[in-house]
Structure 1
Amino acid sequence: MTDTERDENERWHNKLTPEQFTICRLKATEPPFTGKYADCKKDGIYQCICCGNPLFDSATKYDSGSGWPSFWDVLSEHSVAEHVDASHGMRRVEVTCKSCDAHLGHVFEDGPQPTGLRYCINSAALDLKERL
């Protein structure tokens, strides 16, 4: 690990809770049905917990039954990046924050229309800014 990587890790350790750091920076996953936004019905914009980048609108959130907050679309083309994830013996598509590269979750092609996508996101990676 380089000095720059050590400095970056220390910065995230100081900003995030241990759970947030493990999920967002080490690509872990919270247990299903445990995250604070899994059943949230509040209106607003879900932002990256690390950098505040706007990611998802609550209008695209739906109950997928998966145990994680699920969205059928991203807020904008600047919200997330997608990467092939071949870990755990399967092919998935990882979703990261386009601004700070935080691990958010995965996207699957079994969601509702109009996109047919299910962005399955860890609550610990999100911060909801409610609309007034």
Structure 2
Amino acid sequence: QDIVATGELLNIRNGVLSARVAAVSSALAVAVSQAAQDESAIDRKGLGVPIRWKDGSAGALHVLPLRPGRGAFDASVVAAVFVARADTPFVAPTALVAALFGLTPAEARVFEQIAAGRTVEETSDALNIGRSTVRTHLLRLFE
């Protein structure tokens, strides 16, 4: 919302997210359209659209497909768009991902550890749970 409010990079017109730069806006529209029509077209990993802020710093828009019926969101929403600067370490939006995909608190904790780059063993140790439990939660997360 803050990024849209500044109008520097993205804006929303008539309920449609678009970018300040025409080429980025086109790529974003294609990614969202693919997410709406056939999420397999952009895979589970989503689609990254390279961007530049006005100050010249690089980043990416990460478009991830959403399926209605999973989590608490409006059925008209077809994709989540995450904005990341290249020079900022990634911090997983755990609460958002948990809400969107209906994760249990335990699954959300495992997601947060794995998204931070930790291995199954490191996650097991950090959360004080068995490795097989981490793997079970991972199976659900990939599902």
The answer, yes or no, to whether TM exceeds 0.5 is: no
Q: Which has the higher strand share?
A: 1
TM-score category, normalised to shorter length: under 0.3
**What TM-score, normalized by structure 2, do the two folds share?**
0.26
Q: Which structure exhibits the higher relative contact order, with contacts defined as CA atoms closer than 8 Å and separated by 6 or more residues?
A: 1
Of structures 1 and 2, the larger Rg is shown by 2
Bigger fraction of residues in helix: 2
